[in-house]
Amino acid sequence: MKEKNPWHKPLTIIITVIGVIAIVALVTVAEIPPPVSAQYGIVLDAGSSHTALYIYKWPAEKDNNTGRIEQKHSCKVKGKGISSYAAVPEKAGMSLTECMQEAEMQVPAWRHQETPLYLGATAGMRLLNMENRVASDKVFEAVEKTLQRFPFSYQGARILSGQEEGAFGWVTVNYLDDRLKQGLQTTGALDLGGASTQISFVPREYDISESPSNAVAFRLYGNYYNLYTHSFLCYGKDQALRMALAHQTQSGPITISDPCFHPDYSVTRNYNTLYDSPCVSERKPKVAPLNFIHTGEGNFLQCQEVIKSLFNFKSCKYSKCSFNGIFQPPVQGSFGAFSAYYFVMNFLNLTDVFSALCIDNILTFKLVEQIKKLHSDINEKYLAEYCFSGTYILTLLTEGYNFNTETFSKIKFIKEVSSDAGWTLGYMLNLTNMIPAETKDSPPLPHAGYVSIVTVIVLLLFILCVCRCVWVKGHLTLSNGP
Ligand SMILES: O=P(O)(O)OP(=O)(O)OP(=O)(O)OC[C@H]1O[C@@H](n2cnc3c(O)ncnc32)[C@H](O)[C@@H]1O
Ligand SMILES: [Ca+2]
C-alpha cells in the first residue's frame, strides 16, 4: 500500500507562503528609498576679522560623483580673528570652544570619529606670520590644542596661500551653481575680506606662460579649466582703510579731514595702532603725536582720489595688468562677488544697478548720526565705514580690475548659493577628493535594479524547492510501488 508522507502538504504550503511574502516584501521595499546615512566634514575659516565654523553634510552611501554636499550648520566665533590674539595666544584657542561644542551637538555622536576637521587661516595670519613668526606659531599651537580636544578626526591647521584662497572660492561658487558637473560656462569669483582680496576667473584667451604664478589648472568631472587667480594682500577692506589713513597722515598731523567719512564723523585714533601692520608700518611718520583726530568731509570724488592713490597703475611688464604690476587678462563672463562685496553693496542697495550717478547719489555722505538712527540694528563701525567701503569697492572693480559698464552688469553680489559663498567648501571638496577628475562611465547599480535581481533569485529558489518536492514525491511513490 502507498504510504502518505505526513510532512509533504504542510511543507509545500509553508514554502509557498514564505515565497509569496518574500516577493511582496521585496516589491514593497522597491518603492521605499534605502536608508541614507550621512557623512560630515567641518572647516574653520580663520579670517582676519573673525573665525567661522562650517559643517558640511553629504549622503554617505552615494557615490562621490553623485552625492551633493550641503551646508548643515555654521557658527560665528565670538570676538575677533585668531591673529588678533598674538599677545595672548591661548585665548585664540579658547575663542573656538563654543562653536566646537556646537559642532559636537550638530554632528551625530557615532559619526564624530570619522568627521574630518580642518582649520584654514587667511590674510590676518599671513600678515602676522610676516611680522612675527614666533607669535604666529604660538597662535597655531593654541588653536591645535583646542581642536584636538574634540572627538573629530583633526586634519591640521594651516595658512592658505592667496592662490589657494582664490581658487577654492572659485570652486565653491561653481560647485554650488552646479556648473562643474554639467560642464557649463564657469562664473568668476570675487572675494573681499578684511585683509586681502581675491579675483579668480577663466579668461577667454589665456597665455599662462606670461605669469605662471597666477595660473591654476583643474581637471574636474572630465573637464579642463585654466583658471587665472590673484590675491592682493593688504587690499581687504580693513587694511585698505589703514592704507588710506596712512596716505593722509604722512606728515603726522593732529587732525585729518577725510573725504571718505561723513561730515559729522569724529574719532580719536592712535598713531601706533594705525601703523601696527606690515601693510603700512614702513610709512609711519618719524615725528607724530600719540593720537590724531579723524574727522569726515563727505566728498565722493575726493574720496575716490584718495583711494586711487593706493593703487599703482604705472608699472606693468606684461601685456595687461590690473594694478601694482600684477598680470591680469581682461575680465570675462559672469562673476559672483561675496564677503564684504556683498555686505557693503547690499547695505547700499547697489547689488542690482550700477551707474556712477547712482553711486554719487547714494554716497552723498549724510550725517552719520542720521544714519545711526535709521539703522540702529547695525554695528556703528560698519555704518561709519560704508561710504569708504562703497567707494573702495567701486574703485577696485572699475579702476583696479578694469570692469566697465557692460562687464560690471554681470557681477552678482551674493551671500550664498544654497551654502555660504567662500573658500571653505572648495577646500573641503579638494581635501576629501570629493570632485573626481573624470566622470564615471557606468553609474552604480540603482536600488530598483538591486531589488529586481534579488527577486529573480528568490523566485528561482522557490521554483527549485517546488521541483524538489515534486521529485521527492515521485521518488516516494516509486519506492513504495508494487
Ligand atoms: O579673508 P580675510 O581677509 O582673512 O578676512 P575675513 O575673512 O575675516 O573677512 P570677512 O569676509 O569675514 O569680512 C570682510 C570685511 O567685512 C566686514 N564685515 C562683516 N560683516 C559686515 C557687515 O554686515 N557690514 C559691513 N562689513 C562687514 C568685516 O569686518 C571685514 O572687514
Ligand atoms: Ca575671508
The model's pTM: 0.85
Cβ(81) – ligand 1 distance below 6 Å: yes
Beta-carbon contacts of residue 52 (< 8 Å; ≥ 6 apart): 44, 45, 74, 75, 76, 77, 424
Q: What is the pLDDT of residues 75-87, one digit of tens each?
A: 999 999 999 999 9
Quick one: pLDDT at residue 36?
66
Q: Please indicate whether residue 339, judged by its CB atom, sits closer than 6 Å to ligand 1.
A: yes
Percent of the chain whose pLDDT exceeds 90? 69
Domain edges within the chain = 8-32+445-479, 237-413
Instruction: Assess whether the C-beta atom of 233 lies below 6 angstroms from ligand 1.
Output: no
The number of beta carbons lying within 10 Å of the beta carbon of residue 287 is 6
Q: What is the pLDDT of residue 368?
A: 78
- Please enumerate in sequence order all residues whose Cβ is within 8 A of that of 105, keeping only pairs 6 or more positions apart, or say none: none
Residue whose C-alpha is closest to residue 299's, from 360, 248, 355: 360
Q: Which residues are annotated as a binding site for ATP?
A: 194-198
Mutational pocket test of ligand 1: of 43, 49, 129, the residue with most ligand atoms within 8 Å of the beta carbon: 49
**Which residue has better confidence, 103 or 62?**
103
In angstroms, rounded to a whole number, what is the distance separating the alpha carbons of residues 15 and 393? 77
Ligand 1 centroid distance, CA of 88 (Å): 22
Report CA(271)–ligand 1 centroid distance (Å).
23
3-state secondary structure of 410: coil
Three-class secondary structure of residue 121 per DSSP: strand
HSE-up (13 A, CA, CB side) for residue 338: 19
Q: Of 79, 77, 83, whose CA–CA distance to 48 is shortest?
A: 83
Share of the chain above pLDDT 70, in %: 80
Q: Which residues are catalytic?
A: 165
pLDDT at 367: 74
ipTM of the complex: 0.99
Retrieve residue 179's grid coordinates: 556648473
Residue nearest to atom 21 of ligand 1 (CA): 343
Residue 301: all three cell numbers together: 570724488
CATH superfamily for 237-413 is: Exopolyphosphatase. Domain 2 (3.30.420.150)
**Cell numbers linked to 21:** 511574502
Select the highest-mean-pLDDT range: 265-274, 452-461, 464-473: 265-274
Q: Pick the range with the lowest mean pLDDT from 237-246, 272-281, 379-388.
A: 379-388
Q: Which residues contact 477 (CB under 8 A, 6 or more apart)?
A: 2
Q: Are 335 and 177 contacting, i.e. CB atoms less than 8 angstroms apart?
A: no
pLDDT in tens, 385-405: 999 999 999 999 999 999 999
Task: For residue 118, give the H/E element and its range.
Answer: strand 116-121
